[in-house]
Amino acid sequence: MKLIGIAVVALIAGSLLLPAPAPQEKKEVSLTNVSYDPTRELYKEITEKFSRAYQAKTGQAIVVNNSHGGSGAQARSVLGGLKADLVTLALASDIEILEARGFIKAGWQDRFPGNSSPYTSAIVFLVRKGNPKGFKAWSDLARPDASVITPNPKTSGGARWNFMAAWGSVTQNGGTEAQAIDFLRKLFERVPVLDTGARGSTTTFVQKKIGDVLISWENEALLALKEEGGDQVEIVYPDSTILAEPPVAVVDRVVDQRGTRAAAEEFVRFLYTDEAQEVIAKWGYRPRNAEILARHQNALPPFKKLFTIKEVAGSWTEAQKKYFSSGGIFDQIYQPR
Amino acid sequence: MRRRNIPGFKTTMGATLAWLGLLVLIPLARLVTTSSGLSGSEFWKAVWSPQAVAAYELTFGAALLAAVANGAIGLLIAWVLVRYQFPGKNVVNSLIDIPFALPTAVAGLTYGSLYAPKGWIGRFLTPLGIEAVHNRLAVVIVLTFVSLPFVVRALQPVLEDLGTESEEAAHSLGATRWQTFRHVLFPSILPALLTGIALAFARAVGEYGSVVFVSGNIPMKTQIAPVVIMGHLEAFEFDQASAIALALLVASFAINGGINFLSRWSRRHEQ
């Protein structure tokens, strides 16, 4: 029954999100950008700037509609028929699913610079002001006096990044897989609530004041800091962490059908321009452009040690299968011993 | 067949079947075909994994507790609303329907922020050693809230029809208050009470929106079955998600069938 409910909601949401036909000029082009949850503010500003730049360059009016939701749910909407010209999702595996079903051609990740990720982010800790429990390293999160907030990796893409960061903090620093399982089992014993999404966990930590440390995207932590005024929480950069590369792709099947390929590709190229990279830095994501990143190093300081999903697990598709599918490592952690 | 005012059997029955087919039967058939992509052992593995079993226990257990609690409190509320006159009665009467109208996510959010350890109510409970969010108690409480109206609304018309004559007769024949309730009132309202409990139970089993905000969603402990389904969907395991949905459907159907049987049995028993 739930499935049907979800399908109906997705259909209604999908139909609302579809671009309305433009009545005044026939020439106006529209694009639909299907993105994940925390990028709302970022893409709102970028699409405004893009529309202006595009009209100045080509003389053509353009409207970009942004749709946001959980990364996996968004990928499912596209599979279910939501006409997305572009997908800008949290996990490469969500785009790989579209590739496997023929929506996107193979090799999409090499079509644009930096593995098709115009910005990166990383997983950091958000702690109570003054860091009263002195969290510095991943190993601190398994201490008996710690209470850790992170969303459920089964339902949240962000939580999967958190999980792989914790995992990599063991295996990328000389630890074995058995030690990593042991560490994660202890860490998840310290988690009182697994919200279904990243924003839910931020609310639990900041508004409901539950837990000592929130594992979070850097951009989400910076946003929480900004909204709350910086007198209750602060960011801790752990000893090592994972580099998140949220990828973007043009949905070949849709743009070829709608004749919007040129505009969609122009949009992705725009994300790499100085103008867009500045907006990216402003909203707490790390721009690919090293110069612009350096200019913002007060808010975005250099990391001590970074590893990638490729180093930890090979790829997101492999990670998904090994860690988060039924009976995978996450399920084993919650198995009665 | 006698003549009726309504258009006729063929038309009305045809419309009924078409409507039910479109809205209920076709989606259900689709659910079955989606999960039939799994082999027998895969189906069994998805439906009977330790996480799924723990989630069924919580979902059905908490729904049953909530339905029974509403059976007791709902009977009391219906009694008060039917038998007594008091100022503000209409307001109280309409408050009962709030859980019908309120989006359940709103209920979950409100409950969660009130009962959080530093929330308005939670701050008084914490020193007493009571935790009322992110555990099974929280699940039972929100389910009791969302299923509140069913028992009250099922009992009200029956109590109104019942009148006071039989009670007065029992009293004049020397029955005590308890005997009057046990042997005169209770048998007449039992079928309606069971129907109300069955509806409340069905509603509570299907609830998702409010529970996810307060349960904590910890696998094996506080994770309800719909969250397990969402987890499968996120992993693009559509077959497994449908399999668990199907298991829930069959279980709900069986339990509701059981309660309806009890309700019919008690009705026959009474006559």
- Kindly calculate the radius of gyration of chain A based on its CA atoms and give it in whole angstroms: 20
- Sorting pLDDT into bands at 50, 70 and 90, what band is A23? very low
What is the C-alpha to C-alpha distance for residues A174 and B88, in angstroms, rounded to an integer? 70
CB contact under 8 A, A3 and B242: yes
Domain regions of chain A by residue span: 2-117+245-272, 121-244+302-333
Per-residue tokens: A89: 């999702």
* 3-state DSSP assignment of residue B130: coil
What is the C-alpha to C-alpha distance for residues A329 and A70, in angstroms, rounded to an integer? 22
Question: Which structural domains are found in chain B, ordered by start?
Answer: 37-270 (1.10.3720.10)
- Sorting pLDDT into bands at 50, 70 and 90, what band is B177? confident
Of A191, A195, A336, the CB nearest to B50: A336
Residue A20: is its pLDDT beyond 80? no
What is the C-alpha to C-alpha distance for residues A245 and A288, in angstroms, rounded to an integer? 10
Calculate how close chain A gets to B243, using CA atoms only, in Å: 11
**Cβ neighbours, 10 Å, residue B253:** 11
**Per-chain mean pLDDT for chain B:** 88
The pLDDT of residue A124: 96
- pLDDT (tens digit per residue) in B143-175: 999 999 999 999 999 999 887 888 888 888 888
Of B50, B218, B235, the CB nearest to A335: B50
CB contact under 8 A, A194 and B216: yes
Residue found by looking up tokens 């309606």 in the block: B192
Residue A11: is its pLDDT beyond 60? no
DSSP character string of A8-64 = HHHHHHHHHHSPPPPSS-TT-EEEEEEEEGGGHHHHHHHHHHHHHHHHHHHS--EEE
- Sorting pLDDT into bands at 50, 70 and 90, what band is B271? low
- pLDDT (tens digit per residue) in A143-176: 999 999 999 998 888 899 999 999 999 999 999 9
Least trusted range by pLDDT, from A12-16, A155-159, A203-207, B97-101: A12-16
- pLDDT (tens digit per residue) in A210-241: 999 999 999 999 999 988 887 899 999 999 99
- pLDDT (tens digit per residue) in A67-93: 998 888 899 999 999 999 999 998 888
The pLDDT of residue B174: 87
Residue A28: is its pLDDT beyond 90? no
Percent of chain A predicted with pLDDT > 70: 91
Decide: residue A295, CB within 10 A, 0-12 exposed, 13-18 middle, 19+ buried. Answer: middle
Q: Is A171:A10 a contact under the CB 8 Å cutoff?
A: no
Higher-scoring residue by pLDDT: B260, B71? B71
CB contact under 8 A, A72 and B31: no
What is the C-alpha to C-alpha distance for residues A166 and A135, in angstroms, rounded to an integer? 14
Q: How many CB pairs under 8 A join A and B?
A: 107
The pLDDT of residue B163: 78
Residue A16: is its pLDDT beyond 80? no
- A88 contact partners, CB below 8 Å, separation of at least 6: A33, A34, A35, A36, A39, A43, A246, A247, A248
pTM over 0.95: no
What is the C-alpha to C-alpha distance for residues B116 and B125, in angstroms, rounded to an integer? 9
- Sorting pLDDT into bands at 50, 70 and 90, what band is B3? low
CATH 3.40.190.10 for domain A2-117+245-272? yes
A2-117+245-272 and A121-244+302-333 share one fold = yes
The pLDDT of residue A232: 92
What is the C-alpha to C-alpha distance for residues B228 and A2, in angstroms, rounded to an integer? 11
Average pLDDT of span A100-129: 95
- pLDDT (tens digit per residue) in B20-40: 999 989 988 888 888 888 888
Question: Is B34's Cβ below 8 Å from some Cβ in A?
Answer: yes
Average pLDDT of span A265-291: 96
Residue A111: is its pLDDT beyond 50? yes
Task: Select from A95, A152, A320, A329 the residue whose CB has the most chain B CBs within 10 Å, as the one to mutate to test that interface.
Answer: A152
* Alpha-carbon dihedral A112, A115, A119, A120, rounded to 10 degrees: 180
What is the C-alpha to C-alpha distance for residues B99 and B55, in angstroms, rounded to an integer? 24
The pLDDT of residue B259: 81
Of A193, A209, A320, the CB nearest to B134: A193
* Residues of A with Cβ-Cβ distance to B248 under 8 angstroms: 1-2
**Per-chain mean pLDDT for chain A:** 90
Average pLDDT of span B1-13: 73
- Sorting pLDDT into bands at 50, 70 and 90, what band is A43? very high
Average pLDDT of span B129-150: 91
Q: Is A171:A177 a contact under the CB 8 Å cutoff?
A: yes
Higher-scoring residue by pLDDT: B211, B234? B211
Supply the angle between the helices A71-79 and B225-234 in degrees, to the nearest 10. 70
CB contact under 8 A, A208 and B134: no
Question: Is B55's Cβ below 8 Å from some Cβ in A?
Answer: no
The CATH classification number of A121-244+302-333 equals 3.40.190.10
Asked if this assembly's ipTM is beyond 0.85, the reply is no
CB contact under 8 A, A1 and B240: no
Which of A303-312, B123-132, B156-165, B205-214 reaches the highest mean pLDDT?
A303-312
Residue A24: is its pLDDT beyond 50? no
The pLDDT of residue B2: 58
Of B206, B212, B240, the CB nearest to A196: B212
